[in-house]
């Protein structure tokens, strides 16, 4: 592991997050919630490398690939007088046919990020969508905590870059282009993949069902999936699940303890106040909240979305 982010040479300008040739930005249609942090994502695939399409899963990236994700509060689009603050950059590195995770914490000068094994809590502020100052204790995970979300079986796996969550346009230096077509143009992937594209959970013109399922998929479905770390719960929230009992409809919890709040079912159609899923989304208690890690704030907009969805069932 390199001691600092600049050692990898991924960026021409580290602070501006301007990638070098061979490193491509990407965006997810629906991203994971991380205390309202902005995220800048990039992918590096070695010359001649090819990523195999795997239905309903992330691409099978070749050896030497790196997924790069910088977290911060950029504020520039929020009409704020606050300077942007880059907090951490996480790397997933494909080496010896396994993904290895590593995090780098940005220094106060904002000119480099340094290897973090033990993790760190960063007390900071950002301007929320209402224009109000929001305090947050942002948590950089230690090297083992990354497994809480990225563990799949006995290995670490990426979560976001599935074809269904990449099938959208992005502005590149040479113009706007569909991301999958861009990857194909670079020789990274094939064309002709068959899949249902996810919706942007925040797109109010899309259906309530599709928006909510997209949100639950990216925030919950990596664990709550057949074969995932929450497999034994029988609650499967991935985008392709269509069995109502596994989606939580009148499903009794296996072992929720006090996290169930004495409620009987994961989801009671029409009654969010009777639904364990909705209750746990609202909590900040470490023994109750879902997801279990990765946030210190309520995602109020998503809570409202899920409330409306359950009411509609």
pLDDT > 90: percent of the chain = 77
Is 20 within 8 Å of 9 (Cβ atoms)?
yes
Is 180 within 8 Å of 167 (Cβ atoms)?
yes
Q: Extract the tokens encoding 141.
A: 């995970």
* Torsion angle of the four alpha carbons 141, 298, 277, 271, in this order, in degrees rounded to the nearest 10: 180
Say what the pLDDT of residue 79 is: 47
**d(Cα 78, Cα 75) in Å, to the nearest integer?**
5
Task: Write the pLDDT tens digit of every residue in 140-197.
Answer: 988 776 666 666 667 778 999 999 999 999 999 999 999 999 999 999 999 888 899 9
**d(Cα 143, Cα 118) in Å, to the nearest integer?**
7
Task: Write the pLDDT tens digit of every residue in 22-50.
Answer: 999 999 999 999 999 999 999 999 999 99
Task: Write the pLDDT tens digit of every residue in 14-24.
Answer: 999 999 999 99
Task: Write the pLDDT tens digit of every residue in 47-102.
Answer: 999 999 999 999 999 999 999 999 999 875 444 556 789 999 999 999 999 999 99
Average pLDDT of the segment spanning 284-309: 92
Burial class (CB in 10 A: 0-12, 13-18, 19+), 44: buried
Say what the pLDDT of residue 77 is: 44
């Amino acid at each position: 592991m390199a001691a600092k982010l600049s050692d990898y040479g991924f960026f021409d300008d580290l602070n501006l997050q301007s990638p070098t040739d061979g490193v491509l930005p990407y965006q997810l249609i629906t991203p994971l919630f991380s205390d309202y942090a902005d995220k800048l994502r990039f992918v590096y695939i070695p010359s001649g490398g090819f990523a195999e399409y795997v239905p309903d899963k992330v691409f099978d990236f070749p050896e030497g690939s790196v997924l790069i994700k910088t977290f911060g509060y950029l504020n520039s689009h929020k009409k704020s007088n606050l300077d942007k603050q880059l907090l951490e950059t996480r790397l997933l590195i494909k080496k010896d046919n396994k993904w290895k995770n590593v995090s780098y914490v940005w220094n106060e000068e904002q000119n480099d990020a340094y290897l973090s094994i033990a993790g760190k809590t960063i007390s900071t502020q950002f301007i929320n969508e209402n224009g109000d100052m929001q305090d947050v204790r942002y948590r950089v995970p230690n090297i083992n905590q990354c497994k809480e979300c990225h563990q799949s079986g006995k290995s670490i796996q990426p979560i976001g870059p599935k074809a269904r969550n990449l099938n959208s346009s992005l502005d590149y230096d040479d113009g706007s282009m569909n991301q999958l077509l861009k990857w194909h143009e670079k020789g990274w992937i094939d064309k002709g993949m068959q899949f249902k594209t996810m919706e942007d959970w925040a797109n109010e013109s899309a259906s309530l069902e599709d928006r909510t399922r997209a949100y639950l998929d990216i925030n919950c479905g990596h664990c709550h999936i057949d074969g995932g770390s929450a497999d034994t719960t029988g609650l499967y929230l991935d985008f392709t699940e269509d069995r109502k009992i596994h989606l939580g409809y009148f499903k009794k919890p296996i072992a929720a303890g006090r996290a169930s709040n004495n409620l009987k079912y994961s989801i009671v159609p029409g009654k969010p106040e009777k639904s364990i899923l909705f209750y746990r989304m609202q909590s900040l208690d470490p023994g109750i909240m879902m997801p279990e890690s990765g946030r210190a704030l309520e995602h109020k907009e998503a809570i409202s979305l899920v409330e409306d969805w359950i009411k509609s069932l």
